[in-house]
Structures are given as structure tokens and as C-alpha cells.
Amino acid sequence: MGSTWKHVRHVLADNPVTLLAAALFALFVLLALVGPALAPYDPLATNAAVALQPPSTAHWFGTDALGRDIFSRTLVATRLDLGIAASAVVLSFALGIALGLAAGYFGGWWDTGVSRLADTIMAFPLFVLAMGIVAALGNTVGNIVLATAIINLPFYVRVARAEANVRRNAGFIEAARLSGNSDLRILALHLFPNILPPAMVQVSLNMGWAILNAAGLSFIGLGVRPPAPEWGILVAEGAQFIVSGEWWVSFFPGAVLMLAVFSFNLLGDALRDIFDPRKRT
């Protein structure tokens, strides 16, 4: 455990941009955990007397058309958006890696079936496919997670399949077979650790895409239902006020959304180096 933390510190300290991304990621995770407790106002409480007030010391991000504090709503929305994205990515990662490993290692009809499944999903515009799934099943948080996981599935299938296909006849795999290891043990203990570096880069990218997907669905009315605080909803609610000068209603939630996606995109290189076995030598 000590060597692992030492390796993580070395990776983060070696690249200032990576360190910045890790700091932003830690900040968003912290806000997701304790954000509701830090919110200065009830994110659902309305007050018509202070509607559409610009940023001030009382309301750092201003207020919306119903007098709700935008800072509090943006803060509380962090937990929901990161929760949706993380759940979707974990689900697509677990299923996609398992299917891709099996396809690349065993080949044959299993490879053909898994590859055609991934190709079928990729044949659709992914956001449009997510819209169709949510529209058919209903715009609940669970269905948003499911739709986001489905459109992210092919990325992990392809990464795992390619890496397993290249390594299935490698020397260390042949040695594992000759040592009496079962196929399941080879997949879990020998192939899986070697596909983690590219897979973790994909995880980082997919976290940003998943956040954007959830916010986009909410923006067009197919995501989280109002009045729940969610970044996409907050941007959509403020869009109509931009032309009349109340820019802060959508600007601050949009800026936080952009910063979250930016941090996850930058974090990919750090995750690749942390999980790459060759970097530990």
C-alpha cells in the first residue's frame, strides 16, 4: 500500500497539469460528498422578493426567476451529476471490459457476436440513442444511468477486445496456461491488469461525456425532472434570460459543468500512468 501511494504521488508531481486535474477532481468529489451541507440556502426554496438578482455577497452566483440561490443549487447539483456519471461509467466499464476480454481471448462466434453488438450501438448517433432510450423508458435517474451506460459500452468493448486479442498468445499467457491456470484466471489476473492503462484513460474521458450526456438530456427536458437541481436544468432555466441581460442564471452552472468535464479529460493521462504496470518499475 505504501509503494502504491508513493507511485501515485510521483505520477502527480511529475506533471503540473496532471496535478491540477487531480486537484479539481478531488474538489468535485468533496463537493459531491458534503456539498448539500455547505449550501448556504435551501436549493428548492423560492423567494419572489429577490428574483433575478445579480451576484452579490448575499448570493454569490445571483438568484433565478423564482428567487432560488444559484450557488446553492449548483453546489447541490454536483452530487447528482457526478453520481449519474459515475454509476453509468462503472456499469459500462464492468460489462464492456468483461465482454471485450472474452471476445478478444476466445475469438470465434463470441468475438463476432460482441463485435456486432458494439457496431450496432455505434451505428446510431449516441446522444440521439440516449434520447430514444430515455424517452421510451421514462426520464428517471435510473433510466438516464442505463442510457448513458449503453452508449458508452462499445468504447470499453473495443479497448478490451483489441488488447486481449494482441496478448492472448503472448509468452506470459502461454506460461500461465502451461502452469495450469484456467481461462477465467488468465483473464482476471493476467490480461485484465494489462488492459487497465488504456481502459482508465477511457474511463476518464467517459466521465466527462457522461456528465455532458446527463446535462444535455436535462437541458432538452428528457433528463432529471425540475425542480431538482442539476447542471443541465440550471443552464436551460437561465437560457431564456440571457437576451434580457440576466447572464448569471446560466453562466455559473455552465462554467462549473465545463470545469468538471475539463478536469476529467485532463485526468486521463494520470490514470494511465498510475495503472500502467510498466510505470512501477
pLDDT the model gives residue 116: 93
CA angle 16, 18, 21 (to 5 degrees): 110
- For the question of whether the overall pTM of this predicted structure is more than 0.75, the answer is yes
**What domains lie within the chain, and their CATH numbers?**
2-39+69-280 (1.10.3720.10)
**Gap between the Cα atoms of 194 and 275, Å rounded:** 9
Query: What number of other Cβ atoms are within 10 A of residue 261's Cβ?
Result: 19
Q: Hey, is 63 helix, strand or coil?
A: strand
Residues 6+ apart with CB under 8 A from 71: 39, 40, 41, 59, 60, 61, 252
Reference 158, options 210, 208, 198; nearest CA is 198
pLDDT the model gives residue 201: 83
Q: How many angstroms separate the Cα of 4 from the Cα of each of 1, 10, 196, 271?
A: 5, 10, 15, 13
Which portions of the chain are predicted below pLDDT 50? Answer: none
**Gap between the Cα atoms of 206 and 130, Å rounded:** 14
225: left (phi over 0), alpha (psi -120 to 50) or beta: beta
Reference 160, options 244, 204, 97; nearest CA is 97
Phi, psi values for residue 107, rounded to 5°: 65, -155
DSSP state of 138: -
